[in-house]
Amino acid sequence: MKAYEFLDSQPEIGSLVVIEGTERLLAERVRDRIISRVLSDDLRALNLSSLTIESVDDGTSIEEALLAMPFLAAQRVVIVNDAQLAKAAPRRALLELAERHGEGNLLLVIDLLAPRSARPHGIGAQLGKKAQRIDTTVNQEVRERFVAEQIAALGADAAPPVIAHLVRGESDLASIRNDLEKLALLGRRIELADLEREMLATEDPKPYRFAGALVEGRLTDAFEILADCFEHDPRSAAMPLLNALANEYAMLWEMARPGGTLPARLAWRERSLRPIARRMGEARARAGYERALRGIEAIVTGRVGGDPEELRLLVERTSLELSSR
């Protein structure tokens, strides 16, 4: 079953579900829908176990969670995250446990693949008809729907070439979401030129060196680059700097999520950003992304922007807030 097919319908949920495919954003949406259908909000904390494959070893912790009695609910939900990261022994233990799992509590396995992975068979394929399998692989139809939903959710309007470009592109859905969130702040119809400027924003390396220095904790370097940018272009420096911060925190947010990876075009950044994402954590990285977006919004809505010194203070204040988190 495809992810949107599951989300659109209300199929019965069995006791063994595998979310597979390549798209993390869709996987999280399917996971959340399953949880909301099986457990009410007030019973969730008492009946939900979320484990990473790295903590599994011989599968004992999963089995113990599955054997526990639900509290005032029909089922407990046991989630095994990032099965794709398992080494051979824990993956084999998980497969054996899933094969002998019967009725009762729900075992939900998230086993995603990188888009170009050479691994031939996921856990769902090995389990066959025993598991309810939900595929998050992205094709043009999925992209079309996702883009339309994001634009509608943001209350934005985009020209047809913008939509066509996003649908035909290779960016993952998280990157599309982040780009649209920033472009929607323009408060007008999004044109192709706007999207192209956003996607080519890395042309000037200074804002990205500034953002990199800030998230690495090199505040002196970051503020020296900031000062240099405003010295050479006092009226136009703020937006590229804030945009670079938003992009940097968006990448950290993605990598801080369980199993998160960057799209192929940004894979070269993973080595340097992965340790920072691990220290920062998902909540802090997301808060940093949203704080940078608020800075961008202040400029595009005209709340800040008439005075170069005011623009500089906005970027400095945003940077200080982020560095103190």
pLDDT at 199 over 80: no
Residue 226 and residue 210 in contact, taking contact as beta carbons nearer than 8 Å: yes
Is residue 96 pLDDT above 70, yes or no?
A: yes
Least confident of 21-25, 118-122, 239-243: 118-122
- State percent of the chain over pLDDT 90: 45
β-bridge mates for residue 20, sequence order: 111, 135
Domain range list for the chain: 3-135, 140-189, 201-323
Stretch 7-30: mean pLDDT: 92
The confidence score (pLDDT) of residue 3 equals 95
* Residue 105, pLDDT above cutoff 90: yes
Mean pLDDT for 74-101 is 87
CATH of domain 201-323: 1.20.272.10
| CATH class label, 3-135 | alpha beta
pLDDT band at residue 118 under the 50/70/90 scheme: low
Q: What is the DSSP string of 242-289?
A: HHHHHHHHHHHHHHHSTT----GGGGGGHHHHHHHHHHH-HHHHHHHH
The 132-135 sheet, strands edge to edge? 48-52, 77-81, 106-112, 16-21, 132-135
Q: CB of 258 within 8 A of CB of 82?
A: yes
Instruction: Please give the pLDDT value at position 134.
Output: 96
In this predicted structure, what is the pLDDT of residue 87?
81
pLDDT at res. 249: 93
Read off the pLDDT band of 320 (50, 70, 90). Answer: very high
* pLDDT value for 307: 87
Q: Are 212 and 193 in contact (CB under 8 A)?
A: no
Give per-residue pLDDT as tens, 231-265: 888 888 898 899 999 989 999 998 888 777 777 66
